[in-house]
Amino acid sequence: MIQSSKFTILLALALFFSFCDTPQSSTETATEVEAPASPTTKKAEYAIVIHGGAGTILKKNMTDEKEAAYNEALNAALDIGEKVLQEGGTSGDAVVQTIMYLENSPLFNAGKGAVFNNAGKNEMDASYMDGATRNAGAVGGVTIVKNPILAARAVMEKSEHVMLTGAGAEQFAKEQGIETVDPQYFFTQDRWDALQKAKASEDQSTGMKLEDNDFKYGTVGCVALDKYGNITAGTSTGGMTNKRYNRIGDSPIIGAGTYANNETCGVSCTGHGEFFIRYAVAYDVSAMMEYLGLTVDVAAKAVVNKKLVDVGGSGGLIALDHLGNVSMPFNTEGMYRGYAKPGERVVKIYKD
């Protein structure tokens, strides 16, 4: 036990110094300068950060109308969460209401607008974590729950479990009075066309050509800090286009796609889920803050722009610390993202 904690501390120090020692490392070269250079030390009254997925989002492939629609949706989502927080609501309510809005929008790969699996069905995953208690809930592979984030929160609040999947999760949602819909509700032509395109070029051995990620991402996530100092994080997704075998990604996995701890930060991820699971990405950001004393921005960028880049894991994340400092790094072409704090609002799509 003592041996292993000694090893951990040594490893942490080694890691810390390795970041310090490489001024031209990919952490720095790939770093996006978006968050304030020096983090605030005074707690913001509230803060909220969202993402709508990362991927090959290029301005040259975007029409003005589409870009305006995404900006409008991201702003509307922030409006909803910010209002809850301004009125003294909890970070949990802010996260759920914001994510429900994004789930109901056909623009994003969550709820209505979720991607199709290989069988032409929508299978959705969601998770929710409370940074005050570190309680959490998640659902995987649900097909009839209109707002999977509601089911994830209910798993935390109304069951003894952390994660429910498939038919059992749907039965639980129904028993909790959560709205269910005909699967047809989730259909969107764009996602259907993306499935046909994916199938036409698929790798027959797995049914997924994972490196070809431009039409697969679009997951949504939200992290909020309320007036009471509590952080909540949530993530919701349709997963990856053309997925098979009831594949589940990182989004409903606590520690991989979502994590929250009032002492450190809240995190919601988006990207190639298999990498985010294997590298425990959301928890890693929190752990680097806890063990190495890094700021949220340094920790988040080290994970996304160094650790993930080194192994070929594409995607990004949003993170928010207990003071309201925000980080939104991604190693793809773009990420739908934004944040709001008193007197401050940022919404972005591309690298800049």
Q: Looking at the annotation, which residues are catalytic?
A: 219
315's enclosing H/E stretch is: strand 315-321
240 and 115 Cβ atoms separated by less than 8 Å? yes
Q: In angstroms, what is the minimal distance from the CB of 334 to ligand ASP? A: 13
Cβ closest to ligand ASP, residue 96 vs residue 253: 253
Cβ closest to ligand ASP, residue 102 vs residue 132: 102
What b/e string do you get for 222-261 counting C-beta neighbours within 10 Å, with b at 16 or more? Answer: bbbbbbeebbbbbbbbbbbbbbeeebbbbbbbbbbbbbbb
Q: By CB under 6 A, what part of segment 172-231 binds ligand ASP? A: 217-219
Q: In angstroms, what is the minimal distance from the CB of 140 to ligand ASP? A: 10
* Residue among 250, 284, 297, 321 that touches ligand ASP (CB under 6 A): 250
How many residues at the interface with ligand ASP, by CB under 6 A?
14
102 and 77 Cβ atoms separated by less than 8 Å? yes
Q: In angstroms, what is the minimal distance from the CB of 274 to ligand ASP? A: 7
Q: In angstroms, what is the minimal distance from the CB of 158 to ligand ASP? A: 25
Q: In angstroms, what is the minimal distance from the CB of 332 to ligand ASP? A: 10
Cβ closest to ligand ASP, residue 81 vs residue 271: 271
* Residue among 27, 117, 251, 314 that touches ligand ASP (CB under 6 A): 251
* Residue among 273, 313, 334, 338 that touches ligand ASP (CB under 6 A): 273
Among 275, 271, 281, 279, CA closest to 214: 271
> What distance, in Å, lies between the first and last C-alpha atoms of the chain?
47
Count CB atoms within 10 A of the CB of residue 301: 28
Stretch that binds ligand ASP, among 65-73, 203-211, 243-251, 281-289 (CB under 6 A): 243-251
* Residue among 131, 239, 255, 266 that touches ligand ASP (CB under 6 A): 239
The vertex-80 CA angle with 272 and 71, nearest 5°, equals 55
Q: In angstroms, what is the minimal distance from the CB of 340 to ligand ASP? A: 22
Q: SS3 of 323, please? A: coil
In angstroms, the Cα distances linking 54 to 57, 318, 334, 336 are 7, 11, 6, 6
Build a one-symbol-per-residue string for 107-126: x at contacts with ligand ASP by CB under 6 A, - elsewhere.
Answer: --x-----------------
Cα(95)–Cα(91) distance, integer angstroms: 6
**Residue appearing with tokens 């709820």:** 111
Contacts of 225 (CB under 8 A, 6+ apart): 43, 44, 46, 47, 48, 91, 231, 266, 320, 321, 322, 323, 324
* Residue among 52, 249, 329, 338 that touches ligand ASP (CB under 6 A): 249
Count CB atoms within 10 A of the CB of residue 10: 10
314 binds ligand ASP (CB under 6 A): no
* Residue among 81, 131, 266, 271 that touches ligand ASP (CB under 6 A): 271
* Residue among 49, 77, 173, 240 that touches ligand ASP (CB under 6 A): 240
State the residues that interact with ligand ASP by CB under 6 A: 53, 109, 217-219, 237, 239-240, 249-251, 270-271, 273
